[in-house]
């Protein structure tokens, strides 16, 4: 898929999510809808879902794909890096990322995007894994950063 096609697809998904999420402001219902749409409409998405902070823990939220780790060891791996820095993390090869947590041995590349609540605090991350190396780039990052803003939008 060319980057233009990919961007167009993300734009269509954004509009669709925007229309659907108006039904409720419950963030978990919105996360579930976002995971389902992205997972089934984007190519190369092998695992698509959210991890959210629960006290000191980072635990799995709504997702699509194979069964994943329920809780991620504190301050370890890609999801915690997204939580702790408040920045998106694009990992072309998960084997090169120190501390990467492999919920599935099939995942080869990954993107993590922080989710902020109404007050601007990072409360969760969107995590997408692919079975292909270097699946994600700036086009994915920019569009996913926009999509996750819909989780807590008033």
Q: Which residues contribute to the site for ligand SME (CB under 6 A)?
A: 47, 68-69, 72, 77-79, 100-101, 103, 107, 110, 127, 129
Q: 27 vs 82, which CB is nearer to ligand SME?
A: 82
Q: Least distance from C-beta 130 to ligand SME, angstroms?
A: 10
CB atoms within 10 A of CB 96: 9
Q: 7 vs 145, which CB is nearer to ligand SME?
A: 145
Burial annotation 23-62 (CB, 10 A radius, 16+ → b, else e): eeeebeebbbbbbbbbbeebeebbbbbbbbeeeeebebbb
Q: 37 vs 72, which CB is nearer to ligand SME?
A: 72
Minimal CB distance residue for ligand SME? 77
Q: Least distance from C-beta 66 to ligand SME, angstroms?
A: 9
Query: For 98-102, which contacts have Cβ atoms below 8 Å and span 24 or more sequence positions?
Result: 101/69, 101/72, 101/73, 101/76, 101/77
Q: 24 vs 93, which CB is nearer to ligand SME?
A: 93
């Amino acid at each position: 898929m060319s980057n233009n096609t990919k961007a167009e697809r993300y734009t269509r998904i954004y509009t669709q999510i925007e229309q659907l999420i108006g039904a409720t402001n419950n963030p978990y219902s919105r996360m579930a809808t976002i995971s389902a749409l992205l997972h089934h409409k984007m190519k190369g998405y092998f695992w698509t879902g959210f991890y959210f902070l629960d006290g000191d823990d980072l635990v799995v939220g709504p997702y699509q794909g194979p069964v994943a780790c329920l809780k991620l060891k504190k301050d370890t791996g890609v999801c915690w890096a997204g939580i702790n820095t408040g920045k998106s993390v694009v990992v072309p090869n998960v084997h090169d990322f120190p501390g990467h947590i492999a919920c599935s041995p099939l995942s080869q590349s990954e993107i993590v995007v922080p989710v902020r609540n109404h007050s601007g605090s990072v409360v969760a991350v969107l995590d997408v894994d692919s079975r292909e190396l270097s699946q994600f780039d700036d086009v994915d990052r920019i569009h996913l950063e926009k999509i996750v803003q819909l989780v807590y939008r008033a």
